[in-house]
Structure 1
Amino acid sequence: MTSTLKISALTKRFAEVAALTEVSLTVAAGERVALLGHNGAGKSTMMKIILGLIPATAGQVEVCGAAPGSAGARRQVAYLPENAAFHPALTGLEQMRHYLSLRGESPGKAMDLLEQVGLGPAARRRIGTYSKGMRQRVGLAQTLIGTPRLLVLDEPTSGLDPVSRRDFYALLDGLAARGASILLSSHALTEVEARTDRILILSKGRMVAEGSLADLRRRADLPVMLQVTPRPGAGEAVTAALPGAEPRADGLVLSCGQGEKLAMLARIAALGDLVADLDVAPPSLEDLYSHFSKRDGQ
């Protein structure tokens, strides 16, 4: 599969401070990758290097087959900062026409781009009247100019309401399906848990974990929680059959290791109609992030 981003042994130092140390990763065409880490972990530094805004101290970075910041890379990369700023006196439509002209694209595409991010009805209003979420959507619209191969997004859903966040990720899904690679930084772990293909966790400038959610769950080997709801009148029988279960107001809760999950489910299934319901809660991305970060001394 073609890679749009290749990073090998990337190191960045600011005087005596190591912001990034020996970081390596690859992002494939059409892949949605979440970059996670505490403040100061090195996420913003990595993004700035990818965009060619600052140089690396050591290591290799290749962006769409070109050097970061080169004309070839800039033509194929789109960036959205956490706090997008636009001229308050311009309308959304005027701002997008301006950006399209700068990129050598037809200004006539402006309305279509705004409609894609849900700003069609507000296109002729001045940006100074927009909410933060609306300004963020103007930023999303400008990242779509020129059909970029790589989108670098820093906290892209900041200021968006739940419906707008859902629509935003649906838009990303469509872009990825057409082959665009997406690298996004986010503290909204619940969002990215279900909407990304791979997760990268930075801590103290080092890559401490990477892989799919399933990969990270296997590596962390954190307990799986199972909540069993007995049918009315069967509470004592279910409790006796599941020693170690913790009674709760709405049923029983058990925990087990990843390797014991199937055996535990078989034991519960064997209880038949004594059980009214069963919920299985694997470790969340928040649990995994905390695990890998703490393992690195955070």
Structure 2
Amino acid sequence: MSIELDAVSKSFGPVEAIRNISLTIGQGEMFGLIGHNGAGKSTLFKLMLGLLPASAGAVRINGVATSSAQFRQVRRHIGYLPESFVSYDNLSGLEVLHLFADLKRVPRAECGRVLRRVGLADACGRRLHTYSKGMRQRLGFAQVLLGDPELIFLDEPTNGLDPEGIADFYSILREAQQRGATIVITSHILAEIQDRVDRLVILDAGKVAALGTLAELRARQVLPSHIEAQLLPGCGERAGAALAHLAGLTIIVDGDRASIACAAAQKAPVLAALAPMLVDVTIREPSLEDLFLGYGGQHARAH
């Protein structure tokens, strides 16, 4: 399923939570939505889910406006995991999933398959009040997977999951994406999503601060690459002299180690100059967190 937002705004009284946002998310994309607290992420999620009406503009899923009567049929093909998954503590995991299966008009027989896939098969008979936070999150993810939705919305989905659980979660998402599902995901753990999303949008005060692939955002922001070089013994001064002809570098030499901050286009000349004296080298590109702080400005830093 594709998503189209056309000049969408949403106000709550005098507060404009979403301001004239236009963007398109293509079928099969894994799309990241990030921003500081209060940037408008949750409001945008609810607009795309049809849970809130837009104050201006239009939201369309597969060409169907979320404000139309026809959207009810589209919604049956959408899976949604809110930031905090809450259900009935006196029910077992399987009973909770049966409830969601009935609501989604999915055969209850499918519940066992998704419980196995999220690693809850052995705990499905236990009451929810015995579940850990991570287990509850896995159960929430299981209800998302019921019916093989064509569009999946995930709000901070890895809360409470351990590293193994996070890796398994993204493995399941890739399986869904490979069968054609579109996935919209928001997370405060930027390092976790930066190499997993195809494109992303950075929201700032309800507006689009940046939109594109990670590579495109890096190119626009012009943040430096960082090179950490381990040099042959006694080559510190020689390294500084070898780099002297390159303008715009920030160089720190400490004994047999050199740290260089440079533009992306300068990485090759720097490495060529240092090659005769290199023992080891590490290159760090600007992270999504670096980009977020750059694009988010003072709002991001305040949070």
TM superposition score category, shorter chain reference = over 0.9
| Structure 2 residue aligned with 1:280 | 283
| Structure 2 residue aligned with 1:14 | 12
Greater mean alpha carbon deviation, residues 109-118 or residues 257-266: 257-266
**1:185 Cα deviation after fit:** 1.1
| Structure 2 residue aligned with 1:5 | 3
Greater mean alpha carbon deviation, residues 73-82 or residues 242-251: 242-251
1:85 partnered with 2:83: no
Deviations 1:30-89 (A, max 9, x none): 110110001111111111111111110111110133222721221111110010011111
Tell me how many residue pairs correspond in the alignment. 293
CA distance in 1, matches of 2:242, 2:264: 21
Matching of residues 76-225 of structure 1 within 5 Å: 76-225=77-226
Percent of aligned pairs with the same residue? 41
CA distance in 1, matches of 2:24, 2:196: 18
CA distance in 2, matches of 1:197, 1:203: 20
Deviations 1:83-121 (A, max 9, x none): 001111111111112211222221111111011111112
Taking a change above 3 Å as real, the CA distance of residues 163 and 297 of structure 1, as seen in their structure-2 partners, is: closer
Instruction: Specify every segment of 5 or more residues in structure 2 that has no aligned partner in the other structure, as ranges.
Output: 245-249
CA distance in 2, matches of 1:156, 1:193: 15
AA in 2 matched with 1:266:
A
CA distance in 2, matches of 1:165, 1:249: 40
**1:125 Cα deviation after fit:** 1.1
Question: Any conservation in 2 of the 1:42–1:202 contact (CA below 8 Å)?
Answer: yes
| Structure 2 residue aligned with 1:227 | 228
**1:140 Cα deviation after fit:** 0.4
Question: Any conservation in 2 of the 1:31–1:181 contact (CA below 8 Å)?
Answer: yes
CA distance in 1, matches of 2:161, 2:255: 36
| Structure 1 residue aligned with 2:50 | 52
Matching of residues 26-65 of structure 1 within 5 Å: 26-65=24-63
User: Of the candidates 247, 251, 270, which is equivalent to residue 264 of structure 1?
Assistant: 270
Taking a change above 3 Å as real, the CA distance of residues 105 and 296 of structure 1, as seen in their structure-2 partners, is: closer
CA distance in 1, matches of 2:5, 2:220: 23
Deviations 1:16-39 (A, max 9, x none): 111111101111111101100011
CA distance in 1, matches of 2:113, 2:20: 42
CA-based RMSD of the aligned residues comes to 1.8
Instruction: Specify every segment of 5 or more residues in structure 1 that has no aligned partner in the other structure, as ranges.
Output: none
CA distance in 2, matches of 1:286, 1:171: 25
AA in 2 matched with 1:20:
I
| Structure 2 residue aligned with 1:240 | 241
**1:264 Cα deviation after fit:** 2.2
Greater mean alpha carbon deviation, residues 55-64 or residues 232-241: 232-241
Greater mean alpha carbon deviation, residues 255-264 or residues 105-114: 255-264
- TM value normalised by structure 1: 0.93
Partner SS for 1:280: strand
**1:238 Cα deviation after fit:** 2.7
**1:276 Cα deviation after fit:** 0.6
AA in 2 matched with 1:267:
A
Runs of 4+ in 1 over 3 A off after TM superposition: 232-236, 295-298
AA in 1 matched with 2:264:
Q
CA distance in 2, matches of 1:297, 1:137: 30
Taking a change above 3 Å as real, the CA distance of residues 84 and 232 of structure 1, as seen in their structure-2 partners, is: same
**1:127 Cα deviation after fit:** 1.1
AA in 1 matched with 2:153:
V
**1:250 Cα deviation after fit:** 6.8
- TM value normalised by structure 2: 0.92
